[in-house]
Amino acid sequence: MSAWDALFAFWRLDDPNVLWVTLGMALLGASSGLIGTFAVLEKRALLGDVLAHAALPGVTMAFFLFHTREPLVILLGAAAAGLLAWGLIDLLTRRARLRQDSALAIVLSLFFALGILQLTWLQRQPLANQAGLDKFLFGQAASLTDADLYLLGTVALGLILLTALLFDRLRLILFDRQHALALGVPVRRYELLLAAMLVCAVVIGLQLAGVVLMAALLLTPAATARLLSDRLRPMLFIAMTLGVLAGVTGANVSYLAPRMPTGPWMVVALSLFFIAALLLAPQRGLLPRALRQRSLRRRVEEENILRTLFKLHEETSVDTLWSQDDIRHHRPLGAARLNRILQRLHREGMLDGTPERMRLSAAGLKRATTLTRGHRLWETYLENRLGLSPERAHFAAEAAEHVLDEATCATIERELGRPSTDPHGRPIPERPDAAEAPSR
């Protein structure tokens, strides 16, 4: 069977076992994404990583004590170690006043080292079924038994439901702890509950992602979601969806290549989503931001040329034709660059004439008038209200003219009592009306 056939067989989902595995993984991914988002908002993103690493000695110790791989026993062992680690961090930061990052680093390495020591030792022992323990390092979905899946799926579902119930309270506490305290909310109790939920989410994800990479399953969906939304509810849905996708990726991998560790695959998949969001997210993405910057820069360039032409026309008449050199005399600019800007203005119908000899078109004149009006009103306002010198005011208005809208201009005009000239003594144009286009 080729890989493609296998993939196809997987997605037909007619093997009930495949269906269950996929569903279980999807739930696991969703709960990790969900709880991870709250951890990030609590500014405790790294806590998940520590708890995951700290769970390893819990797993090995549970196996050592009870000689069983019964999922509940292993899970409880991992959870106990996680809670112990959490308590230790709490103690170190609150009582010993250690910095949070130092406490996290110390606890992570200590617990992980103990786990590795015991794991290496256990692997040399002539014990039955210890072989699967090392799967906890990088995760192997294929090693999940039906009993595992049942337990993990139930816990994941429980976590999701609990979060839905407590959504309002968690949002309240994580935004402003003191405000929540002032309202009489038992903040500490919720914080403990959230820590316990984080431990649960980590522990059930271990067999899927492994202790080393579990943090990615918690944090990468949250970071991606933050790029795509600035509201908590949509963020949670995005993070959950990404977690589901990661879970299904894991299920896929375990079906196609049962011996392959699933953790790295899911992390790669999640990271791809993160990179895509980083580049393309509408508001925060790098690419849209660069495009917006570029279009703003172009607009400013064009408007500056329109203003220069307006001033040239003002010196003579609106019918005079001007050359590129005339423009560059007033506004120093590379010839090639000016040429590109003029071509754009021509295309937009702002100019009449040829690229060599030109004047403002009716539309261009209207826009230039609006810009000049804003510029001069702002200059006048700054001189009047802040006592800026005409030179300083001019400099400030060079930037402001591109962002002033008509409403602001009207306000300034009202406040200053409809001034007719700017600080340089030049006339402030009236608002150009669409009805009566300036006459030539």
Partner 1 sequence: MTPAPALSLRDLTVSYQETPVLWDVTLDLPTGCNIAIIGPNGAGKSSLLKAAMGFIPAAVGEARFFGEPLDRVRARVAYVPQRSEVDWDYPISVEETVMLGRYGGLRWWQRPGAADREEVARALEKVGMSDFARRQISQLSGGQQQRVFLARALAQGADLYLLDEPFAGVDMATERAIVALFNAIRARGGTVIAVHHDLSTVADYFDHVALINQRLIAAGPTETVYTLDNLRHTYGGRLGLLTDIGRRVTEAGLNDEALPPPPGNAA
- The site for partner 1 (CB under 8 A) is made up of 41, 43, 97, 165-166, 168-169, 171-172, 174-176, 178-179, 181-185, 226, 229-232, 235
Q: Which is nearer to partner 1, 118 or 163 (CB)?
A: 163
Other CB atoms within a 10 A radius of the CB of residue 212 amount to 20
Closest approach of Cβ 161 to partner 1, in Å? Answer: 13
Question: Tokens for 280?
Answer: 């393309």
Closest approach of Cβ 239 to partner 1, in Å? Answer: 11
Q: Which is nearer to partner 1, 55 or 194 (CB)?
A: 194
Closest approach of Cβ 169 to partner 1, in Å? Answer: 5
Q: Which is nearer to partner 1, 79 or 194 (CB)?
A: 194
Q: Which is nearer to partner 1, 170 or 409 (CB)?
A: 170
Q: Which is nearer to partner 1, 22 or 220 (CB)?
A: 220
Closest approach of Cβ 280 to partner 1, in Å? Answer: 19
Report the distance separating Cα 327 and Cα 305, nearest Å. 8
The CA-to-CA distance between both ends of the chain, in Å, stands at: 80
Closest approach of Cβ 177 to partner 1, in Å? Answer: 9
Query: How far, in Å, are 23, 372, 403 from residue 430 at the CA level?
Result: 68, 10, 18
Q: Which is nearer to partner 1, 158 or 438 (CB)?
A: 158
Cβ contacts of residue 168 below 8 Å, gap of 6+?
none
435 burial (CB, 10 Å; 0-12 / 13-18 / 19+) is exposed
Q: What per-residue string of b and e applies to 112-144 under the rule 16 or more CB within 10 Å gives b?
A: bebbbebbeebeeeeeeebeebbbbbbbbbbbb
Per the document, the length of the chain is 440
Report the distance separating Cα 263 and Cα 54, nearest Å. 17
Closest approach of Cβ 188 to partner 1, in Å? Answer: 12
